Every structure is written in C-alpha cells, then in structure tokens.
Amino acid sequence: MYDIAIIGAGASGLMTASLLKNNKIVLIDSNKKVGEKIKISGGAKCNITNKYLNENYYLGDKNLIKKTFSQFDQTDLLEYTNKNGLYPSINEKIVKGTYFCNSSSDVITMFSKLTSHVKKYMNTTVSDVEYKDNRFYIYTNNQTIIANKLIIASGGLSYTSLGASDIGYMIAKKFGHTIVPTSPALVGFTVQSDQAWFKKLSGLSLDVKIDVGHKKISGKMLFAHKGCSGPAILSSSLYWKKGQLSIDFLPTKKSYIPKRVRQEIKDKDIDYKDYKFSPASNFGYTKAEVTRGGVNTDEINENFESRLQSGLYFIGEVLDVTGELGGYNFQWAFSSAFVCAKNIQ
Ligand code: FDA
C-alpha cells in the first residue's frame, strides 16, 4: 500500500518522484529501464529546455501553461539540474534558444539518483485502474498495486516501441474525463502527387518560413523520400490540421537555395515567396515526437488534480498541451510535474 503511485517513469513521472521525498512512492513502467524516451531524445543529447520559453510556443490552455511556468520555468529547471550535477548548455544550431546536455544518459543518471528512495516496478504494464474504498487499485501484468493517490504520467501515443500506450486516456475516460482528439505532431508531412518533385530532392535542406494556421515558423526544411521533414516542418505539423500551408523559400535576402532546388522551383514556375500546398497526411505515430490533443485541461485544476476524482492527477504529455520543437515538451513535462508535486503533499 503506497501513498502515491505514478504510472510512467518518463520525464514527468521521474521529476515528480524526485520531488516527493516524504511519501511512500511507487513508479510503474512497462519499460525495463526508466526514461527510455529521454535516452533517445535530441539525438541522444536531450534538448531539455529553451531560453525563449513562453506559452505561445504551445497548443493548449494558455492560462494554465503560463501559470505553470510562473512556478517552474526554464531558469528553475536549469537551476535544478545544475544543483544535481547536470549542466545543459545552449546550442542553437537547429532551433533558437535550445539547451542540450552532453549526453541524455546524464539526465537518466541524475533522475535515477534522485529517485533512489522510490520503489520501482519496471517491466510492469498497467491495464486498468479502479477506485474503491477511497483507494486506487492499479492492475498490471504482474501484481495489483494499491495507493491513496494516483498520478498519470503515461505520456502520449508516439513511439510504442518505447512503451507508449493509450492507458492514460483510458483511465481518464473511466473517471469521466473527455479527451481532445489525438493526432501525431512534430512529424514530417507526406505529400500529394503535385509535390512528387520533393522526392527527387530527397536529402537536400534549406531555410524557409512556413505560414500555417495563423503561425509563422522559420527554420530548416528537409526534402524527404516520402514528403518533407526538418525542424520547420516538424513545428508546422503542430498547427496543421487540414488544407493548405505556404512556404517562403526566400525568407531573407541572403537565403541560400541549393542549385537543384532552385532549378525545380524555376522549372515548375513556383512562387519562391508563397508556395502553397496541402500535405496529404503525416508520417504517423511511429515517427512523431509527440501527440497533439489529450486529456482535456478544463477538467483538471491548476495543480493538475482531476476535478472529477479527488486524488487523481494528470501531468506531462498525456494532457492536451503540446509544444513546438526545441525543448518545449520536456519543459512542459517537468513544469507540470513540479507543480503537481508541490501541491500533492
Ligand atoms: P514519457 O513518454 O516520457 O513517459 C511515459 C512513460 O509511461 C513511458 O516510460 C511509458 O513506458 C510509460 N507507460 C505508458 N503506458 C504504460 C502502461 N500501460 N503501463 C506502464 N507504463 C506505461 N522533447 C523535448 O522537449 N526535447 C527533445 O529533445 C525531445 N526529443 C524527442 C525525441 C523523440 C524520438 C521522441 C519520441 C520524443 C522527443 N521529445 C522531446 C518529446 C518528449 O520525449 C516527450 O514530450 C516527453 O517525454 C513527455 O514526457 P511524459 O513524462 O509525459 O511521457
């Protein structure tokens, strides 16, 4: 019998567990090891946060996001990691303001030390949760775990190979929550036959500015075998629903366009400054970095507790809050975890 059970030993689950020192805590995860997504993140260097953090880089409830960051922002996160021997540094090669670690294994080592007081059930997949006699009964492939409070930190649907599942949404629904429809985000676009020329340029990249759903995203676009990708496209996918987006291939006077791309644009008589096209779809959850949509934040309070079931909390990516590329999603996971932990004791 535990005070608090946390489903998910990923970014948000580890952060909450590290902060809850005075409770009997259990972390449950289907993976063999904690922080599997952290490990592969940012090209194994974990892009942990962003200097320019603010709510405008997110889709979701701006008030909740702002309020959460007012309690734990990028400066607080860096202070926290520095205090624990981890020193991320700015590296703006791909996206402005991004902080990377020397190695993402260092993040996992830090959290492993900080959660040594916590009981961990790894290789343990949660299949259902019930609330009876004022307690949560967590059913898994191994044993039933009982706790007074339950934190759902089970993330989204991307990368099932790293443990992703829909358990968070399933539990939310069971307790009467609504789920804002989910879809893959921070992912490349597949294209229609009119853009078949993208394939010919596969591997080439250039700086662009993309106009998508009232947002303007600057950065590199990469032509790919099945469509297009690269940082600017990934962030654009967060705001694209259906229909057209527009690409500016000459965002600045000094923009460099590779010769073969220039030739294609010329041959096709394309407007350099305003190339409109409608993606066919995207590369799906196997390639997406995150899941857009999730547990409706109208039904949780500012401390991340369910308004429908006391003692039940949702943090991190399982919520309907999704950030652009550039460390924004880890920061959300850590900030929501911090606020939840601070208020749960
Ligand atoms: P997270 O996904 O970290 O953890 C959820 C945990 O729940 C998992 O360990 C999973 O195994 C467990 N779980 C799920 N279902 C379960 C079940 N039924 N039973 C038991 N356990 C279960 N972001 C960023 O800011 N900077 C970056 O550099 C990157 N890079 C990156 C690369 C790649 C390839 C991906 C896929 C994603 C990123 N991200 C990122 C996104 C970032 O990894 C993500 O937003 C956070 O990890 C979300 O943290 P959570 O704690 O919410 O979920």
Instruction: State the average pLDDT over residues 190-216.
Output: 95
Strands 2-7 and 98-100 come out as unpaired
> Does residue 345 carry a pLDDT above 70?
no
For residue 38, report the distance from its CA to the centre of ligand 1, in Å: 7
Mean pLDDT across 306-326: 98
pLDDT of 39 > 70? The answer is yes
For residue 159, the ligand 1 atom closest to its alpha carbon is: 36
Question: Residue 191 Cα, ligand 1 centroid: separation in angstroms?
Answer: 27
Task: Convert the pLDDT of each residue in 253-266 to its tens digit.
Answer: 889 999 999 999 99
Q: What percentage of the chain has pLDDT greater than the value 90? A: 97
Mean pLDDT, rounded, for 270-282: 96
Mean pLDDT value of segment 235-242: 95
Q: Is pLDDT of 33 > 90?
A: yes
Structure tokens at 260: 């073969």
Cα gap 289→325, rounded to integer Å: 9
pLDDT tens readout for residues 77-91: 999 999 999 999 999
CA distance 237 to 324: 9
pLDDT value of position 133: 95
Interval between CA 241 and ligand 1 midpoint (Å): 23
Mean pLDDT over 118-140 rounds to 98
Atom 4 of ligand 1, nearest CA residue: 10
**φ, ψ of residue 295 in degrees (nearest 5):** -60, 125
Q: Tens of pLDDT along 44-64?
A: 999 999 999 999 999 999 999
Enumerate residues lining ligand 1, CB below 6 A. 7-13, 28-31, 36-37, 40-42, 46-47, 125-126, 153-155, 158-159, 163-165, 167, 289-290, 316-318, 327-330, 333
The confidence band for 207, taking pLDDT boundaries of 50, 70 and 90, is very high
- Residue ID of nearest Cα to ligand 1 atom 36: 289
Q: Residue 229's pLDDT band (boundaries 50, 70, 90)?
A: very high
CA 191/CA 202 separation, integer angstroms: 13
- Residue of 12, 39, 41, 291 to mutate, ligand 1, most atoms within 8 A of C-beta: 41
Q: What is the pLDDT of residue 238?
A: 97
Confidence of residue 23 (pLDDT cuts 50, 70, 90): confident
Closest CA relative to residue 48, chosen from 57, 38, 56, 58: 38
Q: 146 burial class (0-12, 13-18, 19+ CB within 10 angstroms)?
A: middle
